[in-house]
């Protein structure tokens, strides 16, 4: 199945915020109408994606990876949107990263040929499915983590064909991953003794490390040690992978000198995911483009949640019709950006502050002198895209003038 087939899906009550009078149209037909977000029948709350910001972000990180000799497997868990996967691959992506077997199944349903599962996989049913999927498609490349002898044993018992794995290096108090090089060697020994596994590299997630540069040095050293010990003898290339959305500049710095002294070509694989939409709070300050490499330009927030003022029960309080079911709140609360009057007038929302979210309401403190009225639309900037996309199944993509040009389907 290709992402193009998503446009044959019919619009109905499953999709929040879409025009009621569009029910029965296909997504393709609705997109062709190029409706206005503001007077085309859309209802609030409604999450939108900025078309120019998306394209800017796709180009920005693809260009960065290319400039530093990095292959790029964007983490698909951020959006779980096959249409965005296609765009990421069209911008030079090596493949798409997943976190759990369900995501791998979604990727395969939409034809993704290279998948890096940045996690351990010990579920027997998922491993049997993976074996069948690899048998059915010789062009399908799959790589996943291992971090324990027991995990290797469980994989080997369930698999019916060979699977490529990388030893994951972690940190004390962090998530998964071996805690030291000697334990990594024991896991690698277990892989060497397994019937259905092939060791092809090392990997990990640097953001849990208290000293990112040091951890990256340890990861590189582990790859060099394993290569010197002949542990990658069966591999066609050595996979060296790290890189979320916060420290990819340090990953590029650490990986840049690797390769010349190793026995095989090195696939230096970056896995950033949140970059595709960026955000207005959390990643806005964390991305390397913000301060460590500002000369490269910045990413642009693409997500915006349009809400409406339902009530002004007190002089300093407004209630919006969006809450925890609509907006991420695990890292930061939404940030009011614009007020839009029914006549189309746009005003800055400087006097508004979201103080808490209920299931379907946002509580907004209103500063003295701020003119916000029942019926006004309020645009909210969001924090943490990974928990914004998962609340919306079909997201309008909009041009700067509010014209809706596309609809992005998600699968969570």
26 DSSP β-pair partners:
10
Whether residue 94 has pLDDT greater than 80: yes
Q: Could you give the CA distance from residue 266 to residue 153 in angstroms, rounded to a whole number? A: 27
Question: What would be the CATH architecture of the domain defined by 52-295?
Answer: Alpha-Beta Barrel (3.20)
Whether residue 113 has pLDDT greater than 70: yes
Q: What fold does the segment set 3-50+299-409 form as a domain?
A: Lyase, Ornithine Decarboxylase; Chain A, domain 1 (2.40.37)
The vertex-298 CA angle with 80 and 385, nearest 5°, equals 25
* Domain limits, the chain: 3-50+299-409, 52-295
Alpha helices (runs of H) in 179-211, residue ranges in sequence order: 181-193
Sequence-ordered strand ranges (E) for 169-291: 197-203, 238-242, 266-270
- Interval 6-24 mean pLDDT: 97
Q: Comparing 3-50+299-409 with 52-295, is the CATH topology the same?
A: no
pLDDT at position 143: 98
Closest CA to 170 of 147, 144, 141: 147
Q: Give the chain's radius of gyration (CA, Å).
A: 23
Q: Could you give the CA distance from residue 163 to residue 141 in angstroms, rounded to a whole number? A: 9
pLDDT at position 292: 92
Whether residue 296 has pLDDT greater than 80: no
Whether residue 79 has pLDDT greater than 80: yes
pLDDT at position 125: 98
pLDDT at position 260: 87
pLDDT at position 1: 65
Q: pTM of the entire structure?
A: 0.97
Whether residue 24 has pLDDT greater than 90: yes
pLDDT at position 153: 98
Per-residue pLDDT tens over the stretch 151-163: 999 999 999 999 9
Write down the mean pLDDT value for the chain. 97
- Interval 192-214 mean pLDDT: 97
pLDDT at position 186: 98
pLDDT at position 294: 81
pLDDT at position 295: 80
Neighbours of 255 (CB within 10 A): 24
């Amino acid at each position: 199945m290709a992402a193009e087939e998503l446009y044959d899906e019919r619009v109905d009550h499953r999709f929040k915020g879409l025009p009621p009078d569009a029910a029965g149209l296909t997504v393709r037909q609705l997109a062709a109408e190029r409706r206005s977000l503001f007077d085309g029948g859309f209802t609030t709350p409604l999450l939108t994606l900025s078309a120019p910001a998306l394209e800017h972000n796709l180009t920005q990180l693809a260009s960065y990876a290319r400039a530093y000799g990095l292959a790029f497997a964007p983490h698909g868990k951020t959006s779980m949107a096959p249409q965005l996967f296609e765009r990421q691959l069209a911008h030079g992506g090596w493949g798409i990263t997943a976190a759990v077997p369900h995501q791998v199944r979604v990727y395969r349903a939409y034809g993704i040929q290279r998948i890096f599962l940045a996690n351990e996989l010990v579920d027997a049913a998922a491993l049997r499915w993976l074996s069948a999927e690899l048998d059915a498609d010789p062009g399908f490349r799959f790589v996943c983590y291992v971090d324990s002898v027991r995990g290797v044993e469980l994989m080997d018992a369930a698999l019916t064909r060979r699977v490529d794995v990388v030893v994951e290096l972690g940190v004390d108090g962090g998530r998964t991953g071996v805690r030291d090089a000697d334990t990594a060697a024991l896991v690698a020994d277990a892989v060497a003794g397994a019937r259905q596994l092939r060791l092809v590299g090392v990997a990990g997630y640097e953001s849990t490390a208290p000293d990112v540069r040091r951890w990256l040095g340890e990861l590189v050293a582990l790859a060099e040690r394993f290569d010197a010990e002949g542990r990658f003898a069966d591999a066609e290339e050595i996979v060296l992978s790290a890189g979320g959305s916060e420290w990819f500049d340090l990953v590029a710095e650490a990986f840049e000198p690797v390769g010349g002294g190793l026995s095989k070509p090195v696939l230096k694989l970056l896995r950033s995911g949140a970059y595709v939409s960026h955000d207005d709070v959390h990643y806005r300050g964390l991305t390397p483009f913000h301060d460590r490499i500002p000369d490269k330009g910045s990413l642009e927030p693409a997500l915006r949640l349009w809400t409406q003022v339902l009530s002004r029960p007190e002089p300093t309080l407004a209630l919006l019709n969006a809450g925890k079911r609509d907006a991420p709140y695990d890292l930061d609360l939404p940030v009011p950006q614009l007020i839009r009057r029914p006549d189309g007038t746009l005003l800055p929302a400087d006097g508004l502050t979201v103080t808490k979210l209920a299931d379907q309401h946002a509580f907004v403190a209103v500063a003295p002198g701020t003119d916000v009225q029942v019926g006004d639309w309020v645009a909210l900037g969001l924090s943490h895209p990974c928990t914004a996309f998962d609340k919306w199944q079909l997201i309008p993509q909009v041009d700067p003038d509010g014209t809706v040009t596309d609809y992005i389907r998600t699968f969570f």
